[in-house]
Structures are given as C-alpha cells and as structure tokens.
Chain A
Amino acid sequence: MSQLPINELEEPSPPARGRKKIGIIVTFACILALLGLLAWGLRKVQAGPLSTGMAPDFTITDFDGTTVTLSELRGQVVIINFWASWCPPCREEAAYLEATWRKYEGRGVVFVGVDWVDTEKEALAYIDEFDITYLNGPDIGTRIAQDYNIQGVPETFYVAKNGELRGVHIGPLQSPQLDEKIEELLAEQYP
C-alpha cells in the first residue's frame, strides 16, 4: 500500500511554528548549560591545589580540644600539613615534620596538621607513634580540604606572615625542603 506525501512542503501552522521555536531555544539552552557545567568540571579537574592568593580561613579543633583559627595566626608563618593515618607517604615525612617543628617552635612559626578523612582511633595512634606535639585536628566535613582543593595526601601549604599562600608541596617532604622554605618565609619583610 503506498500513499504519496502530498503536503510535504506545506508551511507549518503558526502554533506549530511557535512550538518549534520554543523547542529549539529550550534544547539549545540545555546543551549550552551542560557544556558550561562540563567546562567548569574540567577546569576544576585540571586545577591543582591552591598555591597563591590569600589562604582560605578555617577553624580547627585538635584532638585535645584546643581550637585555632587561621586568621588569628596572622603575623606568624603557618605550615599547613594535610595527612591521614592510612597514608604511607605521610609516614615518610612525619618524623621530619615533627623535628622541624621542634626546631622552629616559638620563633614565629606555627604548624597545623589537618587530618583528612580519618578515624579518631587510628589518628591518635599515629600521633602517638611519631610523638607529634604540634596541633592536629580532624577536617570535619572535609571543608578545609575542599577549600584548599587538595588532590590527595600528603600535601603541605605554606602561609606567609601576612596570610598569603606561598606555594604547596605535593607529596612527602624531605630534609631540608621544609627548613629552607621556613627560613625564606621568616625572612620576609613587610614595609
């Protein structure tokens, strides 16, 4: 059975044309929105951890109950170290970090250890094992890690006396990398 399409090129009626216009606008808008979302996602994936600009402020409570806010530490050099008890490379640098802390304690340098997605029991065992004395607290809700856009652990962020980020070290620190950086930051003068 065949039927020849007679009204092939007939102009669509006004309501159909209006609907067609709406349809195409909506579809294009959705595609552009999706592309925008993907572009944003791509940028986020390509970006590494924060390394410049003002260090994002945060408040952290350590396992002993002491609370500290980053902005209150203005005027001192702050070393922010992200770690976790289940992270083998973190163990490689733990002793070096503690030794460096003891060397610079009281000289205008503060060490803040941020425990990223960890269990309290294991974290305390880790702190005990390496006899860590500087402040260490859990990153509740992973807020701090997200603000600093860390890609993993361990990562160490350097904050200058005026609160600006002076770079990040990805992976375990080896002597004398941290000492050198601290000396550099301590020597900074502000007119």
Chain B
Amino acid sequence: MLADIGLISLTIAFLFGLYATIASAYGGWRARTDWVESARNAALLVFPLLTIPVIVIVYSLYKFDFSLAYVYDVSSRAMSPFLRVTALWGGQQGSVLFWAWLMAAFVGIVLLRKWERDRELMPWVTFVAMLTTAFFVGVVLFITNPFVRLWHVPGATELTQAFFQPANAMPYLPEDGNGLNPLLRHFGMIGHPPTTYLGFTGFVIPFAFAIAALITGQSRHDEWIITTRRWTLFAWIFLSIGLVLGGRWAYDVLGWGGFWGWDPVENAMLMPWLTGTAFLHSVMMTEKRGMMKRWNMALIILTYSLSLFGTFITRTGVISSVHAFSKTALGPAFFAFIGLTFLGSLTILYLRWDTLKSEHSLESFISREAAFVLQNMLFVAVTFAVFWGTVFPLLSELVTGTKITVGPPYFQRVTGPLFFVLVLLMGVVPLLTWRKHAARSLGKTIWIPFLASLGMTAIWGFAHRMHPGSIFGLWLVTLTLSLILAEFWKGIQARHATRGENFLSALFNLISRNHRRYGGYIIHLGVVLIAMGVIGDAYFKQETQGTVSQGEVLSVGGYQLEFQKLLAYPGSDGREIVEAVLDLSQNGKPIRTLNPRRDYFVVQEQPVTVPGVYSTPGVDVYAMLVGWDSSGSSATFKIYVNSLINWVWIGGFVMILGTLIATWSNPAQREATYVLKREGLTSQA
C-alpha cells in the first residue's frame, strides 16, 4: 500500500517536472509571466512530491518490506538500523531517486530565494534546472524504479520483477534480503555518496544560471556570477569532502593501504572538481576585472558536463572499473541526455560569443590576471590528462582491438608536474596584485619565505635522503606553506602596528573583515597539507609481507610487530571474524597492540579485511591479516608504513573550515556587492 503511494507520488512529481520545463520555456519565450509563475509553482512542488517516495523507501528498508525488489537487494535482517537507512543510496534505483530528490531541493531553494531579484533570468533557470530534474525523475520512474515488486510465476526458475501482477503470478515475500555489499557497510557509506551527490547536483544551479544568462543575452552583465557564487562554493566544497571521504573509506576498507587508485570512477569525480576549482578562481577575474567571461561560461558548462559524464561512466560500466554498479538500461537514456547537454550548451555559447567581450586589458605579464590565466590553463591541462587516461582504454580497444590498462604510473607522471606548478602558483599568486605588480616588490615579499623553505627542505631532505625525488615536493610544500603563513603574518603585523591589537584579536579581526580573502588562504593551507600527505604517500611509503609463527617478529621501517595469537568468533551483521593480535614496537620500545582482522560475511560469501592501524601525525602503521594456517600457530601479514598520510585528512578539515569562513558574509555586504555590479561598477570584495 505504502509503495503504491510512493509510486503515485513519483509519477506526479515527474508530470509536474515535465510541465514546469515546458511552461517555463514557453513563458520565457513569449514573455508570459502567468506561465512562468505557474511553472515556478509546479517546480516548487516537485521536492515535496519526491520526499514521499524517499520516505517510503527508507521506511520499507527499515521495516524489512522484502516484497519490494530493491529492499530485497540491499537490505537484510542482520543489518543495523543505521545501515538500513543508508541503503537508500546503496543500490542503483535508490541512489538515482536520492540524486533527483537532492536536485529538486536545490531547485526549490533557488526558486524561492532568487525569484524577485533575477526576474529576467528566472524563466530560463527554471527551464534548465527542471529539464535536468525531470530527466532524472523520469529515469527513476521508467528505468530504475525502486518500487518494483517480486512475483513468482509458476514454472519460472527466477523471480519476475514488475509493478503489477503478471498473469498467474503470486506475490513473493522473501524471508530475508541479500543485504548491502559488505564493503559498503562502513561509516563512509553515510558520508561519501551524499556529499558526492550534493557536489554533483549543486553545479546544476550555476549552470542553469549561466545558460539562462546566455539565452536572455544578459551574459553581457555578470550578475549571474554573483548570484551563483555561493552555490558554486557550496557544490565545490561538497565535492571536495566527497573526494576526501571516498579516499578515507578506500583506505579503511579496501586493504591496500592507499586512498586513491586513479580508477575511472574516481577520476569521474576528480575532473569536475578540477574544472570547478578553476571556475571558482576565474569568476574572480570576471567580478573584479570583467575579464575571462567566455572562459567562465565554457568552464561552468564543462564542469556540469563532466559531472554528468561522471555519472554516466559510473553507472553504465562503459569504462571498466572497480566501482561497479549493477548494469541496467540507464545507458542509452543517459547518453542521449549527455549528448543534448553538451551540444546544446555549446551551441548557445557559440551564438552568444560576442556578448562576452572583455572589459579591460592586460597591463603586465606579472599580474594576477596573467597568473590566473596560467592557473586556469594548468587546471584544464590536468583535467585533460585525467580525461585522456580514463577514456583511452576504450579508444584503444576501438582502434586496435586490444584492451589496455592506463594505471597510476601514467596519471602520476603526467599530472604530477602540473600539480607541482599549481601548488607553487597557489603560494605565489596571492602576493600578486591586479593589473600590474612590480617585479622588485614581488622579490622583496618572497625572499624571506623562500630562504626559510630552503632551510627547512635541507633539514628534512637530509632526514629523507634515501628518496631524492621527494626533495622537490618537500621544498614545494615548505615554500607554499611559508608564503601563506607570511600573508597572515603581514596582515597581523599591520594591524598591530596601526591599531595596537594583540596577536589573537588581530588574527580574528583580519579574518572577519575579509572573509573571502582569508577564508581562501585557509583553503589553500588545507590544500598544501593534503599535498604534504600525497608526497609522503608517494615517496616514503614502506611495506612488507611475511608469514610468522607465534612469537616471531616482522620488521619494517623501524617498527617491529610481534605476532601473539589468533582469535576466531562470530560478529554482528552475520559475519565470522578471525582476528590477530600483534604487539607493535618502535626501535624496541613497545607502543601498543594492533588487531587486524578478516570478517567473512557468510550469506554473501564475501570477505572484508579490517586493518589494525596505529595513527600519528607523522605516520600510520597499517597492518593487515592476509592469511593463516588452520591451527592458528602461524599467520601472514602485510604491513604498510604510511608516512604523513594523516595530513590528507587534516588538510580536508582545514579546507572545510576555510570554505565556511569564505562563504560567511552578512546579507548587507552581499546586497551591496550585487547592486554595485548591477550598476556597472566593478565591485570590491
């Protein structure tokens, strides 16, 4: 009964979405406000209408309604309530519904808040946003519907899935479900998919505004950028969090001691993040100097297209990946939609190309403008490299017939130098002013941090002299870190000199008087910390594997692990656990006990490795139980010593903090900025 309500509500949501799309386009074209208003109302209703099926699914998952095929697939009696709720996005059908629901929420918020201010754009914003939303709801309704039930047709060897009772069939109510794939039963499940989806779908809003600006010809003015700036930042930070959480989850669960494998689905998330980051910066150029307008348009179209592309390759299996979703008929529909989006937006951009001329000129090659152009180009170059490496196996198979793998060696070698330059720019460019920066003054600002970085690099380069390749990376990290901290220092010093404030209040006032600038610096700080973690992972990682009997010791990187014993016992969620007890010491000094284990999920016949980890800021000692003999007297372990890896997670937190600071501004400030821009005056932050 409940499922029927969910299905009906889903259908109505689709119809309303379709109506809103058509009505807003018609209203915008014919300048008919009544149609546009009607479209808005329909669009606003889509979110509440979608909330009903979402609640129904979650409730059915929680209450074990196994008559629904989806619930049977992803839920089971052994799963905890928490996991049962997250199973909403545990399978194809539920996750597309979840995606559509989030998108409808964003569209609703925008239509409520921006309606009055951006009246000319609104019809087309509604059109683009609702076209996308209606598409996704349509996919849920017609292709991957979570409300199909299980039926048993007499004589058939498999269960049939359908909404309505097939002839002679009986409803089938299984006793228990399959449950989530054991690899998904981790706290990362509550964090990674939602944040990733929030990131992907969030970009629809700036995209809709950009297209609306192009369609209405408003693109010669840049208000759309200010309107959507916070949305862009919001989508971007969630995509960033999604990336970090995904990495952390892989690190905890997959048992290869790493957090990024350059798998196609991982790359699918990285690419829109890269262009999104470039976009975040290039809009600054447009805001302050009225330049790079065409580039901005192209970038947001690219970012949104890449996020659609990412969903496409994740869900259709066109490019083989570890992150396999079960295959469904999604492919052709998505393909058509992507084709429409790519070609349609490009056509509009081409038609309106001339409305996007630059307002100012370049005064010097040493200026923020020039550096921004360089930085944007580098981001796009990295995106291209990642894209090429991801798509190349498919291309190679088409052209030569042989399948090949493009693995981490390619990505690291090609993107590494580019990222190097980007991080360097990240430290140097904030020092540059707009328009023209005297080379001499740049030199004066840099020389102290530069020397400091050389000094620090010499010290910890010496400590890691076995890895000469790491010297460059270490120098980069120390230099950029020094430059960013120098910016803070200068500001604090200036406040102290002019206003007599002490260190803490100077810092606080510095940040609160200019959220965007110092929030941005903090985000950059987070990025440098992540870079530090990545360099540590790339150069200083050590590993060993060996079989030891009880009392024997495995050594790696100055750490000793002594195998004590093996335990076997049943665990929650229907698993059988084998746990090893290892005593960890460093250079002879005991530290603590590690308990790596292997959980075997009996029903799914799937093993999951749970590592025993000792974490410090400098290093992670990561132990995994690989095998054992049945008597329990000897076991095989794989031990990783991951230097600096925790800085990746710490850096992630710092980035979030920085983004919160950067987006924090009072409404009056925002309104002033908007009005200034509207009147054709270049705005100040």
Contacts and interface: CB of A to CB of B under 8 A. Distances in A.
Say if the two chains contact directly (CB < 8 Å): yes
Interface of A: 1-5, 7-10, 12, 20, 24, 27-28, 31, 34-35, 37-42, 44-46, 146
A41 B346 contact: no
Contact of B680 (A4, A10, A20): A4
Interface string B217-258: 000100000000000000000000000000000000000000
B114 to A, nearest CB: 25
A8 B357 contact: yes
A35 B395 CA distance: 12
B335 A39 contact: yes
Contact of B331 (A3, A34, A45): A45
Given A8-B355, A38-B338, 18 more contacts: A2-B680, A2-B681, A3-B359, A7-B357, A20-B353, A24-B346, A24-B350, A28-B343, A28-B346, A31-B342, A31-B346, A35-B339, A38-B394, A40-B398, A41-B318, A42-B318, A42-B331, A44-B397
B209 to A, nearest CB: 21
Q: Which of A9, A10, A45 has the most CB of B within 10 A?
A: A45
Interface in B306-346: 312, 316-319, 327, 331-332, 335, 338-339, 342-343, 346
B222 to A, nearest CB: 11
A147 B400 CA distance: 13
A74 B115 CA distance: 74
A14 B371 CA distance: 29
B175 interface: no
B317 A45 contact: yes
Q: Main secondary structure on chain A at its contact with chain B?
A: helix
A9 B217 CA distance: 12
B339 A37 contact: no
Contact of B401 (A4, A46, A146): A146
B118 to A, nearest CB: 21
Contacts of B339: 35
Given A7-B357, A41-B318, A41-B319, A2 B682 contact: yes
Contacts, number: 61
Contacts of A2: 680-682
B682 to A, nearest CB: 6
Size category, B interface: 20 to 34
Contacts of A27: 346
B304 to A, nearest CB: 14
B395 A37 contact: yes
B398 A38 contact: no
Nearest to A8: B357
8 interchain residue pairs of minimum CB distance:
A41-B318, A42-B331, A5-B359, A2-B681, A41-B394, A24-B350, A31-B342, A35-B339
A40 to B, nearest CB: 6
B558 to A, nearest CB: 37
B403 A146 contact: yes
Contacts of A1: 682
Contacts of B331: 42, 45-46
A38 B335 contact: yes
Contact of B327 (A10, A20, A39, A45): A45
Contacts of B359: 3, 5
A52 to B, nearest CB: 21
Nearest to A9: B354
Interface in B547-567: none
Nearest to B401: A146
Contacts of B397: 44
B350 A31 contact: no
Nearest to B289: A3
B310 to A, nearest CB: 13
A13 to B, nearest CB: 12
B360 A38 contact: no
B680 A37 contact: no
14 contacts: A3-B360, A5-B357, A8-B355, A9-B354, A27-B346, A28-B346, A35-B342, A38-B312, A38-B335, A39-B335, A40-B398, A44-B397, A45-B318, A46-B331
B448 interface: no
Contacts of B338: 35, 38
B596 interface: no
Contacts of B401: 146
A27 B353 CA distance: 14
B606 to A, nearest CB: 14
A138 B403 CA distance: 18
A37 B343 CA distance: 15
Contact of A42 (B316, B350, B357, B680): B316
B391 interface: yes
B528 to A, nearest CB: 33
A45 B397 CA distance: 13
Nearest to B290: A5
A42 B335 contact: yes
Contacts of B354: 9, 12
